[in-house]
Structure 1
Amino acid sequence: MVLALLLSGSAWAQTVIHAGRLVDAAAGAVIEAATIVVDGDRIESVQLGYVGEPDIDLTGAFVMPGWIDMHVHIANQQSPDRFLENFTLEPADSALRAVPYSERTLTAGFTTVRDLGTEHGVAQSIRRAVAEGHIVGPRIFTAGKSLATTGGHADPSNGVNSELRGDPGPTQGVVNGLDDAYKAVRARYKEGADLIKITATGGVLSQASSGQNPQFTEAEIAAIVAAAEDYGYRVAAHAHGAEGMRRAVAAGVHSIEHGTYMSDEVMELMREKGTWYVPTIIAGKFATAQAEVEGYFSEVVRAKAAAIGPLIADTFARAYRTGVPIAFGTDSGVSPHGDNWKEFVYMVEAGMPVMEAIASATRSAAILLNEWENLGSIEPGKYADIIAVPGDPREDVDEFGRVHFVMKGGKVFKQ
């Protein structure tokens, strides 16, 4: 019965909500006592004070726009068997496993996510299943298959023997040269992606020795960005090393993901160009913790996880103090789905005020996603994505983990 209610949600033609404290994400303020009127899947009005009889009483709660996580991998979750599963699982297995991952993400308060790398069209299928109401989950924007260079972080043949390795090309997301860059972007358009994700440097969890070397030329990245613009796509760049970041920012990507070894030069360039930083602190902390567990990672991955993981929080603190624009992202799928909220705690611990952390997951994320007209604040005309926690996270940051009300597109999925 509970599952059936979650799958259908509960919807009203018009719903009146009384909010005790309401986050005004556009102004960066908290309104004491407000009335939200929802009509269908959109917000009709927001009024000061309590007006009329409420259908939903949140007068004792702290009410926020639904959170947006700008970096997840919705179809998988890290485990000691993760690399082996590349050879033993079918795409359908990944899609089925994503059903609880999606539900946990939504009920944790994340009504929208940006999936940054899923193969075989699985994320697109999950996106469709959620949109059509077959499964419970957040609104999904996906990059489809991440783009890499030969041997790079998202080369699907890394770590396998020579008989299986082959030579993947742009259709499989492997780019070597400018022509490949255009074909790889067009292949993502063909598979139904919403944006482009590149791996501008090595990565922590790939079966390759370097976690930070630059892996695209600046010209290749510029070609990807130019091709992406033809299709209305924004480009996210996974990057740990400074030179790979510098090339990506100079070539015009819209966001840097992780940013572990971000230099002062890169920070200045990001401020100059308005490039967003998506820090994923929780992924670094999770990888570092698992690196201490014998056999959890292969030895090549374990060494990188131990070295890179501890640095992301410090980089975030420096970037925040320097004024680099920051949008919320977790890399969930590395860390467990549903724990996304812990990123707020780590951001606050690193020096970001609570209201700015909330803004990073609402207004800032919506702007980076190019969806500010629809998402990121509780305003007339926007999707009725509304969440609430019982207490004030400005007084207790652990309130982020106590979401007790979730509405997405006018439907209640947790109350």
Structure 2
Amino acid sequence: MCLHDHTPAALPASAVPRRGVLAGAAALAGISVASLAAQLGSAPAAKAAGNAPHSGRPVPPPPMIIEGGTIVDPKTGNAVEDGVLVLEEGRVSAVGSRDETRRAVAALAGRARMVDASGRWVLPGLIDVHVHANALSDAAAILQGGATSVRSGSSSFYQDVALAALPEWAAGASPRMSPAGLFISPELGDSLLADPDLAPLASLQGGVTEHTDLAYLTRVNLKRGAQVIKTRANPRAGLAEQDPRELVYGYDQLSAVVKAAGKAGVLCHAYSAEGIDGAVRAGVRSIEHGVFVTEETISRMASRGTYFTPTMDAITSMAGSSDPVLAARGREYTPIIKAAVRAAHEAGVTVVAGTDSFGSDVTPIGTEARLLAEAGLSPLDALRAATVNAAALLGWSRDAGRLVRGSYADAVIVNADPLKSASALEQIGAVVAQGVLVRNNP
């Protein structure tokens, strides 16, 4: 689980230029220009662009045909046995039975990469709505775990904004990313150096707490490319020296962040009953963690359409910590969060899957789905939490979460029936991201 506090280590000597967010964030993540080129050099877009990355549009990966597997639609729960999925120019061009896709397959004869999914199940690429990715290695680990789309839970120096730009130019180098930029939190640490516009915040006594300063930090994030805003109501549960029930930001402060974020929406780290309720009343789009949510707040979440990201693995895994404080929290919190997930789901709150993975220490999204099922969701609802529900939260319902004509060319192949057991999502045989086969274990 993630034990970070969103406070970066010492800043490398190189400065971050106002231009070139991608190169700057890569440098801050410890990635040299040579390393970046080496890791992306095999991508179709990189080959097409040569040494001048802006000399032309990226070339999409070659077509791909996945055949023989059972194709599952998480929205309906329907499945097509011996199905065919045709991916072309970064999108699904055909999907269905062999007869329904016959013409599409014939049109690509001799040009498409063939992937045999016989005896397995084909799903849309999974979606992890809470990750902290700061480097290319992090992105690669997330993809290997089956998540082809993610929502950032913040990064230290806008690395998530840079990662969000990669799929267009280097298919398969990173999951599709909804970046959050910097964590809206009182103490920014070295993240103040992520943008010269943040320098005025360095002189604040007591950190970023006033409404005008919260709004300012939010606007800087949006200007830098954040597509969603991350803030907090409480401290971290994964750090023994912090009290996760202490209030960091209350209703008024969270309202200031929500107002400044506008249509981008806000995800809020919250543990205490007061913190969760204040965040929901302030209008955040999703509650992250939410251990001590009350029945009253659950009812409010259902009526407002607030999503719930319980980050089951991050919370329950504390029970195995070598730190006695964290182990005690894990044992205490596990039955509470399970009951909260069950109650929220039964009340009509949309539950989504997020692992709170940090760096290359990635929990596969399938593990989170299994834990949601163990908390009371059906296998189909656990699958939906990592597909259609997550896509709806990101605003990507037209493109992600299902395999339909025109949707993203993202897919996973699993070795067991996900409609019978959510643990099937942990048995990943292949991953296709942006039309590129990034993992294949036949």
The residue aligned with 2:276 is 245
Going from structure 1 to structure 2, the CA distance change for 1:269 and 1:345 (only over 3 Å counts) comes to same
Residue 68 (structure 2) pairs with residue 68 (structure 1): no
- Indicate conservation of the 8 Å contact 2:129/2:353, yes or no: yes
Residue 146 (structure 2) pairs with residue 109 (structure 1): yes
Structure 2: distance between partners of 1:256 and 1:405:
31
The residue aligned with 1:160 is none
Structure 2: distance between partners of 1:257 and 1:9:
37
Residue 67 (structure 2) pairs with residue 18 (structure 1): yes
Going from structure 1 to structure 2, the CA distance change for 1:143 and 1:363 (only over 3 Å counts) comes to same
The residue aligned with 1:123 is 160
Residue identity in the other structure for 1:34 = G
Give how far 1:306 is off: 6.0
The residue aligned with 2:258 is 225
Structure 1 unaligned residues grouped into runs of 5+: 76-97, 158-165
The residue aligned with 2:183 is 146
Aligned residues: 371
Structure 1: distance between partners of 2:78 and 2:412:
16
The residue aligned with 1:210 is 243
- Indicate conservation of the 8 Å contact 2:167/2:434, yes or no: no
Structure 2 unaligned residues grouped into runs of 5+: 1-37, 46-59, 106-111, 191-198
Structure 2: distance between partners of 1:183 and 1:389:
45
Residue identity in the other structure for 1:186 = R
Structure 2: distance between partners of 1:282 and 1:135:
26
Superposed CA deviations along residues 333-390 of structure 1, whole A, max 9, x for unmatched, are 2893153321122111111111111111110001000111221111111111111112
Comparing 189-198 and 387-396, the one that deviates more: 387-396
Structure 1: distance between partners of 2:124 and 2:212:
42
Structure 2: distance between partners of 1:214 and 1:273:
23
Residue identity in the other structure for 1:244 = G
The residue aligned with 1:285 is 316
- Indicate conservation of the 8 Å contact 1:21/1:31, yes or no: yes
2:169 to 128, 132, 136: 132
Structure 1 length-normalised TM: 0.80
Residue 429 (structure 2) pairs with residue 370 (structure 1): no
**CA-atom RMSD, angstroms?**
3.1
1:28 to 77, 90, 112: 77
- Partner SS, residue 119 of structure 2: strand
Comparing 49-58 and 65-74, the one that deviates more: 49-58
Structure 2 length-normalised TM: 0.75
Going from structure 1 to structure 2, the CA distance change for 1:349 and 1:309 (only over 3 Å counts) comes to closer
- Indicate conservation of the 8 Å contact 1:9/1:411, yes or no: no
The equivalences for 1:72-87 within 5 A come to: 72-75=131-134
The residue aligned with 2:304 is 273
Superposed CA deviations along residues 61-119 of structure 1, whole A, max 9, x for unmatched, are 111000000001113xxxxxxxxxxxxxxxxxxxxxx3332212102211011110211
Structure 1: distance between partners of 2:201 and 2:214:
13
The residue aligned with 1:85 is none
Residue identity in the other structure for 2:237 = V
- Partner SS, residue 377 of structure 2: coil
